[in-house]
Chain A
């Protein structure tokens, strides 16, 4: 069965360190997204990609970067981790571009920045 996986599931790091969260999907979807979930805010879009070599900033992109070298993977990098980036991070993918359409989410990565 097709799926979307994230690793690690839990990560503790220190302020100032670079951290990379992995996301891998086997749906063969062109569209991939990274969200963060914080209490009271729901899910907020960090970065998204509509295909290989395409990346775009979302609502809360400061301090984060992504790269898309193949269809299956969209790693999220925190260049210099800050305590404000402590959150649960979800990766998602979708097939449809316009007009909405469901996104398929990974299980999430809980990141703690000390």
Chain B
């Protein structure tokens, strides 16, 4: 069963506009959430994270929002840049540690100049 779901396989936005990537989870034990970015032929790289005790975390152009009641998180990128074009994976982990980290299927973001 997929405990972390990214229902949009792809997203296309114009440079300078906002990109919003969504992620839903089903396991209420998850308490730490991460976003990874992946370029072709490279491994995923960590982008931003959020603990379940918060509802927002911001790092430069990237902001992650967490809605625990809806079991939903989103990644906002403002303003979007062509270099942001990549596959974005949402991940969630439970208190027992990294072995319980589950990844979504990914969303391919394309930012058009």
Contacts and interface: CB of A to CB of B under 8 A. Distances in A.
A103 B42 contact: no
B95 interface: yes
B105 A41 contact: yes
A106 B32 CA distance: 22
A102 B6 CA distance: 19
Interface stretch (A13-21, A66-74, A77-85, A90-98): A90-98
Interface in A56-71: 56, 58
Given A40-B105, A99-B31, A100-B31, A107 B98 contact: no
A101 B100 CA distance: 12
B99 A102 contact: no
Instruction: Decide if the interface of chain B is mainly helix, strand, loop or mixed.
Output: strand
Nearest to A48: B99
Interface centre among A31, A94, A96, A98 (most CB of B within 10 A): A98
A108 B93 CA distance: 22
A96 B99 contact: no
A35 B101 CA distance: 11
A114 interface: no
Interface residues of A, number: 30
Contacts, number: 75
B106 A103 contact: no
Interface string B34-48: 101000011111100
Contact of B103 (A42, A96, A98, A106): A42
A98 B95 contact: yes
B43 A42 contact: no
Most buried by B among A90, A98, A103, A108: A103
B19 interface: no
Nearest to B9: A40
Contacts of A31: 98
B103 A94 contact: no
Interface of B: 2, 4, 6, 31-34, 36, 41-46, 49, 51, 89, 91, 93, 95-99, 101, 103-106
